[in-house]
Structure 1
Amino acid sequence: MSITELERVALTPEEIYAAGGITVHKVGELIGARIDGVHLSGDLSAETAYAINYALAAHKVVFFRGQQHLDDVSQYEFAGTLGTQTTTHPTLKSADNKLLVLDGAASSWHTDVTFIDRIPKASILRPTTIPEYGGATTWASTTAAYNQLPHSLKVLVENLRAVHTNAYDYAEVVDKVKQGSSQRVTNYGEFTREIYETEHPVVRIHPATGEKTLLLGHFVKEFVGLKPSESVALFQLLQARVIKLENTVRWAWEAGDLAIWDNQATQHYGVSDYGTQARSVHRVTLAGDVPVDVHGESSRIIKGDASEFSIVADIERLPGFAAN
């Protein structure tokens, strides 16, 4: 069924999902939903793609089961129905510069690629090697975390900015057992072969929903105007609120799974609890916009040009969401 933009404004979420031929089942109160009824591909109808994007904005991370037919090509093509794909990464490259292959788990809470100005809108992750046990991924809602702040903290963080960089915390977040390996040293060298620094608002306005959400994670170097010790203390206080268990959802991977998360409203953490087993996932990211704070001020580039990684996307504002 073809629906005009004007007609969409009057639809309930359930009607949007029905028009797209999908069903959406919550897996957590504040974050996470499973989407059924769709065979993912690059040939999705506009209604189905819109419904998936809407569910993503509503639930922050969505999961699909039974997508064993997907390979690198079809995963990339499917991603293109939801937005404009970026290249692999600002510094990490792959053979085709489309999908990023990640072996192991990033055992630290982060939002993807926040050290550039144009933070990706979303990430699409497909497991290719799943350990016999362990290796789950956990997501946290940074929108829920903002909503739960007391008024005094909201006033503080709405007027605060932070410097994010790829040269700050990466060496600290790797598995300590593997930290001394030559492969890790090589990875760190590649990760920092070009240095990026960007000043972002700590509270950004979500471009699709109008909601306020915290912009933090392990690429934060410091808060502007605060001493290093003050930055550390405030970062720990805010991060503790983001990753409160009630704000999270944990997904144990199965063959045929695919996850999409709203990179504008979440952090995530790959759990390294699978010993020496192999674990590999393939990721495509979608172009996002430049964050804007509650005063209408945009993020500011300090160092690095991310234009080869991604365009600055024009994110569609979705109906039915109330500003928090």
Structure 2
Amino acid sequence: MTAVAAPPARSVSTRRELPVLDVCKVGGALGAEVRGITLGQELDDPTATAIQVALAEHQVLFFRDQHHLDRSTQWQAAARLGTPTQPHPTVKSRGTDLLELEGAANAWHSDVTFVDRVPKASLLRAVTLPPYGGTTVWASTTAAYDALPVSLRHLAEELWALHTNRYDYAEHGRSSYSDNTYYQEFTNEQFETRHPVVRLHPETGKKSLVLGQFVKTLLDVSAQDSRALMELFQQRIIRLENTVRWDWRDGDVALWDNRATQHYGVADFGEHRRQLHRVTLAGDLPVSVDGEVSQTVVGNPENYSPIVAAPTLPL
């Protein structure tokens, strides 16, 4: 379907009087439930800005009882919080306005890091849930960086990684994404992108680790050192104290900052169906601590999403 036009998200570059949201933390490092909000095109500018401020603080926001949302209104809701982009750079068969996710990835990742313009955020809505299992876990890559010893911080800040979509989902066991048809579509156009292992968040200025399943190798180190260092930093990211786990219910919507988190959909629901719809919000080029931006090595990401100027939130 063609996405219904929605009012663009307004600039949040200036401080203003914002409504006080009913926010309840659900995790120490990240995650909060926002209560009393009805997502949609009618979301007013101050409330939309307040949600973006809360997202910058909590990294993952959860909204219960959003039963009114469907494909079009979910897209409209996302458009009040950013700039929706194409659902995926290569997968076209699962929606033209949003991505229809079936099953669970069963692997830690930040979305679409194999292109240069890493998405800002995603708005995910539960559509069909299994009778058990199927939770999603998020990890704060900011908290992981902050907890590193100073020597490891300095090392990470010097490293760059090559990300690619030529990734073997089957390595992680039971995952609907290892299906041959899906994988062929996922990899039909190759992308490789050079990202800093540590990036600066464009709104908060905080540092976070940019890793996950799409990393092929660390650059300018040996293959053996690359594997060891990736494992070291990735295990820091997914420590339990850096995570929050969400048990989906009908009507649930999750909004997460893709620039400061990784997530993992748990495929523990047997043969039952698990379907969620995701709208992706366009992001900016990651910037290293030295001011160098990510670079495309293979592929043309120009048609995926526009590069948008990151707003400065009134934090």
TM-score with structure 2 setting the length = 0.93
Read off the aligned partner of 1:248 and give its amino acid letter.
T
CA displacement at 1:173 relative to structure 2: 3.4
Q: Taking structure 1 as reference, are residues 319 and 227 closer, same or farther at Cα in structure 2, changes over 3 Å only? A: same
Q: Is the 8 A contact 2:14 2:313 kept in 1?
A: no
Note the C-alpha offset of 1:171. Answer: 4.0
Q: How far apart are 1:5 and its partner, in Å?
A: 5.6
CA distance in 2, matches of 1:188, 1:4: 39
Shift of 1:308: 1.2
Flag the 1:280–1:178 CA change in 2: closer, same or farther, 3 A. closer
Which secondary structure does the structure 2 equivalent of 1:307 belong to? helix
Structure 1, residues 57-89: CA drift from partner, whole Å, max 9, x if none? 100000000100100100000000011101110
Matches within 5 A, 1:10-89: 16-18=18-20, 22-89=21-88
Aligned residue runs from structure 1 range 149-298, under 5 A: 149-173=148-172, 175=174, 179=178, 184-298=179-293
Seen in structure 2, the aligned counterparts of structure 1 residues 63 and 159 have a Cα distance that, compared at 3 Å, is same
1:88–1:94 contact (8 Å) kept in structure 2: no
Structure-2 separation of matches of 1:170 and 1:199: 21
Per-residue deviation, residues 208-246 of structure 1 (Å, max 9, x unmatched)? 110000000000000011111211111111011000001
For residues 73 and 39 of structure 1, what CA distance do their matches in structure 2 show? Answer: 15
Correspondence for 2:8 = none
Secondary structure at the counterpart of residue 303 of structure 2:
coil
Report the RMSD for the aligned CA atoms in angstroms: 1.8
Using a 3 Å threshold, how does the CA distance of structure 1 residues 234 and 132 change in structure 2: closer, same or farther?
same
Query: What one-letter code is carried by the residue in structure 2 that aligns with 1:266?
Result: T
Q: How does 1:91-102 map to 2 (within 5 A)?
A: 91-94=90-93, 97-102=96-101
- Structure 2 gaps of 5+ residues are 1-10
- Amino acid in the other structure paired with 1:124: L
The aligned residue for residue 5 of structure 2 is none
Verify the 8 A CA contact 1:169 1:218 in the aligned structure 2: no
Shift of 1:23: 1.1
Cα displacement (A) at 1:305: 1.1
Q: Quickly say closer, same or farther: Cα 1:68–1:309, change in 2 above 3 A.
A: same
**8 A contact 2:15–2:314 mirrored in 1:** no
Task: Write the distance in 2 (CA, Å) between the matches of 1:210 and 1:244.
Answer: 23
Distance 2:13 2:175 in 1: 51
- Shift in Å at residue 168 of structure 1? 3.0
Question: Counterparts of 1:116 and 1:148 in 2: how far apart (Å)?
Answer: 28
Give the equivalent residue in structure 1 for 2:135. 136
Task: Give the number of equivalent residue pairs.
Answer: 306
Shift in Å at residue 172 of structure 1?
A: 2.3
Does the CA contact (< 8 Å) of 2:90 and 2:185 recur in 1?
A: yes
| Farther-moved stretch of structure 1 (241-250 vs 92-101) | 92-101
User: Contact 1:17–1:23 (CA<8 Å) still a contact in 2?
Assistant: no
TM-score, structure 1 as length reference: 0.91
Aligned residue identity for 2:142: T
2:104 aligned residue = 105
